[in-house]
Structure 1
Amino acid sequence: MRIQDIIEGKKEWRAHVARVKALPQDYQIVYKEIQKYLFKVGPVELTDGTGLLSGIIDLFEEGAALRKGVLEVTGSDVAAFCDDLIKDSKTYADIYQESVDQEFNKAIKSTDANP
């Protein structure tokens, strides 16, 4: 990764954070909880810029502009909202599980080949 890429990434992140801070307080609170949840669950797309998170901010900005409460936008179960957002996304847990499965299958084949 080039230094220019790092600098550009920091600029993008600062702009992203500024958008979050411009949201109404209730939206900011829910956004931060969503962010923590997604960082914990680990969808791979989160490392590819801020696409998913920016999409959430877009949705929140639209909801705020329409004077909707944040839970009118997400629904009362925010974790389910997050899960629905990433249901088709590959997570780091998925990648890890695949690697464990591959190692297990190699071990089984090795055992089967050497009775």
Structure 2
Amino acid sequence: MGIQDIIQGKKQWRAHMARVKALPPDYQIVYKEMQRYFFKVGPVDLPDGPLLPGIVDFFEEGAAAGRGVLELVGQDVAAFCDDLIKDSPTYADIYQESVSGKPGAAGK
């Protein structure tokens, strides 16, 4: 990863966060909680994947339609997040494999 990649990544992140800040306040709160949850749970492809930008797209559409954020995600935001990443490998999964002693996990 070169310096240009780092600069480009920062530009993309800042543009992404500008989109989040343009959302209504209740959407921003839920997005930040979801983001915190994802950083904690750790889908492996989170930094480069389409998950966070996809959530912003989804929220922008919901806000434009005049719907409340909890109408979109439901009352249990963590369950909504879990559904989004249910088929994605997480760092927690990788860790569980390494401590369980499954074949091939020790070399990772």
TM-score, normalising length from structure 1?
0.85
Cα distance in 2 between the residues matched to 1:30 and 1:93:
23
2:39 is aligned with 1:39: yes
- Report runs of 4+ in structure 1 exceeding 3 Å deviation: none
Gaps of 5+ in 1: 107-115
Cα distance in 2 between the residues matched to 1:27 and 1:69:
8
1:1-115 map, 5 Å: 1-48=1-48, 51-102=50-101
Cα distance in 1 between the residues matched to 2:20 and 2:103:
45
Q: Which amino acid aligns with 2:7?
A: I
TM-score, normalising length from structure 2?
0.90
1:29-80: CA deviation from partner (whole Å, max 9, x where unpaired): 000000011111111111225x200000000000000000000110111111
**Secondary structure of the corresponding residue to residue 47 of structure 1:** coil
Gaps of 5+ in 2: none
Higher radius of gyration, 1 or 2: 1
Q: Give the Å deviation of 1:105.
A: 6.0
State the identity %: 75
Aligned residues: 104
Cα distance in 2 between the residues matched to 1:58 and 1:33:
17
Cα distance in 2 between the residues matched to 1:47 and 1:17:
14
Q: Give the Å deviation of 1:85.
A: 0.3
Cα distance in 1 between the residues matched to 2:81 and 2:42:
11
